[in-house]
Amino acid sequence: MRALFRKEKMWQRHKLKPRYDVVVIGAGVHGLSIAYYLAKNHGLTNVAVLDKVYLGGGNSGRNTAIIRANYMTVEGVHFYGESLKLYEELSKDLNFNLLFSQIGHLSLAHTDSAINGVWRRAEVNKALGVNSRVIWPDEIKRLVPALDTSDRPRYPVKAALYHPPGGVIRHDAVVWGYARGVEKHGGEVHPRTEVTAIDVKDHQVTGVRTDKGDVIRADYVVNATSGYCTTISRMVGVDLPVVTHPLQACVTEPLKPFLDKVVVSANLHVYVYQTDRGELVMGSEIDPYSSYSQGSTLETLESIVGHALELFPALRNVRVLRQWGGLCDMTPDYSPILGEVDGLNGFVLDVGWGTYGFKAGPVSGKRVAELIATKRTPDIIRPFRLSRFREDKLVSEKGAAAVSH
């Protein structure tokens, strides 16, 4: 009889070695993809990825798995556009089915100024080869028949930015696929290994200490954490311009398939899509206060479902099954912080992921790995350097980052 269960272990338990070329802190999509591309693209395999909890136990398992590249700035569109392309090839690359459904993504515009915003995004997207266009209520209604496109709602739907390649992927599978890839190429993943200190000598990072009691030497230490990026960076005296906020989401009971697009309304601070299992995934913008809580609140649930009902009134009797929260490290311009820190060798940042980290996992991993292996910052991540905040060279994605504005 054919074996019904996968016998292969996707990653092994390893004993920590006294020295690695690279230690990555954070075994989410970002940390794992850095280790994967270091090994696969550059042959650097003496790499350990450490995490204080289980693999993908942070935001990689708490986001709502939306992939898109329809950003606002030239820098952002190039960057997320490359990530989308990597995601399109990732199941093949990792030889692991990530269930990527490119169902299409709609950002609704309910006001004249929102129409200007989506128009601008469509133009920047098209100019840079990302498939997006503005569509009007007739076409919106054809694509999403259940959406209330009448003139009755508080915020009538006037237009939308339609981004056909956007969609949804199985987020846990992305984590497991990368972890398996790291292992296959000779790297190591170490869940439940908390970094307690980072050693620095003469402006050079020399290694980390962990709760396992060992001193581990390393030439490079990468901060690829979410929620705790400021804590880790403070270990080497680097203060990040990051404020951490919770972001909550929920899923409903399964329904017959009726919605095959991701629908986002920035004005209503809500987004909705239906999974292959029939559940509706719904989320809101970040909670309006800073916190490290991953719990959920009734207040946010009421706001999510209230706003979702303004878009889809027919859902009024649907039951919510689960609700959860993740931690968003918000930067002032809603763009990430990537690269080295001036005056400190060997410390690399892959942080500040706000509400957009999951969709950027592959491109960040590939390009941060390239930075470490070649000792040169790739052009595509240079705009996201930490020093942009004092140089006044912000990359403002506020108008296109999730449901926030």
- Residue numbers of the site for ligand PYC (CB under 6 A)? 64, 66, 68, 271, 283, 355-356, 401-402
CA distance 395 to 405: 14
CA torsion sign for 307, 310, 311, 314 is positive
Instruction: Tell the smallest beta-carbon distance from residue 245 to ligand PYC (Å).
Output: 12
Instruction: Tell the smallest beta-carbon distance from residue 283 to ligand PYC (Å).
Output: 5
Q: DSSP label at 161?
A: E
Instruction: Tell the smallest beta-carbon distance from residue 34 to ligand PYC (Å).
Output: 21
Measured from the CB atom, the residue of 5 and 289 that comes closer to ligand PYC is 289
Instruction: Tell the smallest beta-carbon distance from residue 273 to ligand PYC (Å).
Output: 10
Measured from the CB atom, the residue of 359 and 385 that comes closer to ligand PYC is 359
Measured from the CB atom, the residue of 243 and 373 that comes closer to ligand PYC is 243
CA distance 371 to 236: 20
Instruction: Tell the smallest beta-carbon distance from residue 115 to ligand PYC (Å).
Output: 20
- φ and ψ of 379, to 5 deg: -55, -35
Report, in this order, helix, strand and coil percent for the chain, each rounded to 5: 30, 25, 45
Instruction: Tell the smallest beta-carbon distance from residue 355 to ligand PYC (Å).
Output: 4
- φ and ψ of 175, to 5 deg: -60, -50
Instruction: Tell the smallest beta-carbon distance from residue 70 to ligand PYC (Å).
Output: 9
- φ and ψ of 309, to 5 deg: -70, -25
Q: Is 271 strand, coil or helix?
A: strand
Q: Which residue is nearest to ligand PYC (CB)?
A: 402
Measured from the CB atom, the residue of 86 and 216 that comes closer to ligand PYC is 86
Residues in the chain: 405
Measured from the CB atom, the residue of 62 and 190 that comes closer to ligand PYC is 62
Measured from the CB atom, the residue of 20 and 356 that comes closer to ligand PYC is 356
Q: Are 115 and 158 in contact (CB under 8 A)?
A: yes
CA distance 130 to 133: 10
3-state secondary structure 120-154: HHHHHHHHCCCCCEEECHHHHHHHCCCCCCCCCCC
Measured from the CB atom, the residue of 227 and 283 that comes closer to ligand PYC is 283
CA distance 348 to 377: 11
In a 13 Å sphere around the CA of 378, the CA atoms on its Cβ side amount to 19
Q: DSSP label at 315?
A: G
Measured from the CB atom, the residue of 33 and 355 that comes closer to ligand PYC is 355
Instruction: Tell the smallest beta-carbon distance from residue 60 to ligand PYC (Å).
Output: 13
Instruction: Tell the smallest beta-carbon distance from residue 376 to ligand PYC (Å).
Output: 29
Q: Are 347 and 235 in contact (CB under 8 A)?
A: no
159 CB-near residues (< 8 Å, 6+ apart): 108, 109, 114, 115, 118, 134, 135, 136, 137, 140
Measured from the CB atom, the residue of 242 and 402 that comes closer to ligand PYC is 402
Q: Hey, how many other C-beta atoms are within 10 angstroms of the C-beta on 347?
A: 23
